[in-house]
């Protein structure tokens, strides 16, 4: 199996960063600049994203987290580490914390941005997105995947106080570093469509910070709030006038929240 692309910067306790669907490690540059003097940041291109290879044999949630863990284990070793995930990366982080990959123990702290244990709506989960939206995205990938990803980036910034600036950063991350492979994008949508981690939340013992943007159009803030309420040791924070990527539109506020939370014993 080929190695995933990993970048490391900063000094201090290890903080692993998992980005969202369609993006890559460059999306963390702005937040990383605000945190690198206090944390050793380990950012990974998810399988099939950016400069990382894709292997359909590892398309499942735990297949991907195991692959990521193998890539970063040499950088962590026996030390404690914290885990931060955004959007699809947050779903991977939840599964990771509930069932840690071989070779690594559970994270000391878990930080989640735009997170949900179940992405699609259900009779007992009113906070999800209609499954038809994911089906349309999957169909769009087959017709014109670059246009579909671009439209999804637009959706991520709607309602944000700094929407245009955030959109430019997302597009720069996508096109400067490397686009995701269509097969990986399709697998990511299928993972979001089918995954339901609500039954595993009780196994997550790490203190957790769940952050949402007030005007997120991709994932209802209520989903992240409900997630925090269901976790054993979690607190919820909502960023006013932010959308799906509050760490880009409100970087100082999010960086301060994370730094305070991650330095707790």
Cite the active site residues: 87, 216, 244
**87, 101, 103 from 106: Cα distances, Å:** 20, 8, 10
Main-chain dihedrals φ then ψ at residue 207, nearest 5 degrees: -55, 135
Distances (CA, A) of 73 to 70, 82, 95, 100, 261: 5, 13, 17, 12, 23
Question: Which secondary-structure segment (H or E) carries 205?
Answer: none
Strands 208-213 and 81-86, how do they pair? unpaired
- Output the CA–CA distances (angstroms, integers) from residue 158 to 100, 141, 142, 213, 250, in the order listed: 34, 21, 25, 11, 14
Tallying the residues shown for the chain, one arrives at: 265
| Strand stretches in the chain, DSSP E | 6-9, 14-18, 40-44, 81-86, 110-113, 208-213, 234-239
**Edge-to-edge strand ranges of the sheet holding 40-44:** 6-9, 40-44, 14-18, 81-86, 110-113, 208-213, 234-239
- For 197, list phi and psi in degrees, rounded to 5: -100, 10
Please work out, in degrees rounded to the nearest 5, the angle formed at the alpha carbon of residue 152 by the alpha carbons of 146 and 156. Answer: 145
């Amino acid at each position: 199996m080929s190695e995933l692309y990993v970048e490391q910067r900063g000094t201090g306790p290890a903080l692993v960063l998992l980005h969202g669907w369609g993006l890559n490690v460059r999306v963390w540059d702005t937040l990383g600049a605000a945190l690198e003097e206090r944390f050793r940041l380990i950012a990974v291109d998810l399988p099939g994203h950016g400069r990382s290879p894709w292997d359909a044999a590892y398309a499942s949630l735990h297949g991907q987290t195991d692959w990521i863990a193998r890539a970063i284990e040499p950088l962590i070793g026996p030390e404690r580490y914290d885990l931060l995930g955004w959007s699809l990366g947050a779903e991977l982080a939840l599964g990771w914390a509930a069932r840690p990959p071989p070779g690594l123990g559970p994270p000391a702290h878990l930080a989640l941005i735009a997170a949900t244990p179940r992405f699609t709506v259900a009779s007992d989960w009113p906070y999800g997105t209609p499954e038809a939206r994911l089906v349309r995205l999957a169909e769009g990938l087959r017709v014109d995947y670059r246009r579909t990803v671009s439209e999804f980036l637009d959706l991520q910034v709607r309602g944000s106080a700094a929407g245009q600036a955030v959109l430019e950063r997302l597009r720069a991350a996508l096109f400067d570093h490397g686009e995701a492979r269509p097969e990986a994008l399709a697998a990511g949508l299928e993972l979001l469509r089918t995954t339901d981690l609500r039954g595993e939340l009780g196994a997550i013992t790490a203190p957790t910070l769940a952050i949402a943007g007030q005007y997120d159009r991709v994932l209802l803030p209520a989903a992240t709030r409900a997630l925090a309420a269901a976790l054993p040791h979690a607190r919820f924070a909502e960023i006013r006038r932010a959308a799906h990527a509050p760490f880009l539109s409100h970087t100082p506020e999010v960086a301060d929240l994370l730094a305070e939370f991650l330095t707790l014993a």
